Amino acid sequence: MKLVPELPEHRPAVLELNRLAFKGDEEPRLIKNLARDNSIFASFVALDGEEVVGHILFSPLHLVVNGERIDAVALAPMCVTPGRQKQGIGTQLVDYGIEQMKRAGQAAIIVLGHVDFYPRFGFRHDLARNLSCAFNKYDAFMGLELRPGSLDGKSGTCIYPRAFD
């Protein structure tokens, strides 16, 4: 298996994978709307041969902490083909995505995700709970510092791209 940036020819498989993994059209619609609004920072796929078996997407966030704008992205969505889940593909995608966001100079990643999955990568609710956002009341709203001190003990505002509305 290899992890690569999503190419235009991957998009139909990415949309179908998200539809199957999330059992509905909400995530495919989110991806289409993010693309329409030019709000995709990075998108990666896991390929088994030529088959897309996993996907992770990052979009830019407007994040201001303690009055200072910081470079941050939202991680959403991330999924794996239903028949290939629990085989480490999702873990590889998240690890790869985090590394790519570090290389891109991002200070933080915010996710609204499974509380039993994302903490293993360092995502924590306490890093995001003081960010004014529609999602901050949920334990699943978590932050990860890529630049130490970018979130910890700070408060501010987090505005997702319009496509998340």
CATH number of domain containing 110: 3.40.630.30
Instruction: Decide if pLDDT at 72 tops 90.
Output: yes
Tokens of 126: 């306490």
Average pLDDT of 66-83? 96
Instruction: Decide if pLDDT at 17 tops 90.
Output: yes
From first CA to last CA, the distance across the chain in angstroms is 34
pLDDT at 144: 98
Confidence class of residue 165 from pLDDT cuts 50, 70 and 90? confident
Mean pLDDT computed over every residue of the chain: 96
Instruction: Decide if pLDDT at 134 tops 90.
Output: no
Average pLDDT of 5-31? 98
**DSSP letter (8 states) at residue 124:** B
C-alpha separations of 110 from 11, 59, 87, 119 in Å? 24, 10, 24, 12
Average pLDDT of 41-66? 97
Prediction pTM value: 0.96
Q: How many domains in the chain?
A: 1
**Sign of the CA dihedral 27, 77, 58, 142?**
positive
Residue 74: give the domain boundaries: 2-164
